[in-house]
Amino acid sequence: MPLPPLKGDPIRVLVRRDLGVHLAQTSIPWRTIWLDRQVLVDRGDFERILIHEIFHFAWVRLSNEARWEWESVLASEFRRRIRGELGWSAECRKLKLTSRDISRRTVAWRMYVCESFCDSAARIYSGLRRHEEFTLAPTAVKRRREYLKRIVATNGVRL
């Protein structure tokens, strides 16, 4: 079996016929994104889903400080009982969380934080303003946009 590509090598994007229930999958070590053909059908899905997957590469390269800052934004939303999300991948995880998950920084919490970061980036950078998966309150979207843009401006988007 060949060795995985090196950090900094191009990210490969492959379109497949059927990825099952998921419309995309990403392998960080193999620097590959697989997209289901269905994302080419619905307007805006290709951009939204591709940007989400690309930001998984950015997430793993962020500093701990930047990740913790993002966590604090989400923890604040959770304490204020703000409902909704900016994508299904974050929303399905958010609905299962408890206060205990946040205080103990469980795997479930950390997975939600990552998915929320990627979904938020997809909402902000895809150019889409409306989508059935965008259920987060506009004030929370604005706050996330400010934090995300500052994190990106400070750290860049290293893939």
**Is a pLDDT exceeding 70 seen at residue 35?**
yes
Yes or no: say if 35 and 24 are a contact pair by the CB < 8 Å rule.
yes
Asked if residue 36 is part of any domain, the answer here is: no
- Once rounded to an integer, what is the mean pLDDT over residues 98-104? 95
Asked if residue 80 belongs to a domain, the reply is: yes
Confidence of residue 51 (pLDDT cuts 50, 70, 90): very high
- For residue 88, being part of any structural domain is answered with yes
What's the token pair of residue 86? 């900016």
d(CA 19, CA 7): 26
**Number of domains into which the chain is organized:** 1
Residue 76 lies in a domain: yes
The radius of gyration of the chain from alpha carbons, rounded to an integer in Å, stands at: 16
Does 136 reside within a domain?
yes
Q: Report pLDDT for 5.
A: 73
Q: Residue 125: what pLDDT?
A: 93
Single-letter amino acid code for the residue at 76: S
pTM for the full predicted model: 0.91
- Tell me what the mean pLDDT of segment 64-81 comes to: 94
Considering only residues 1 and 11, tell me which one the structure prediction assigns the higher pLDDT: 11
The residue type at 153: A
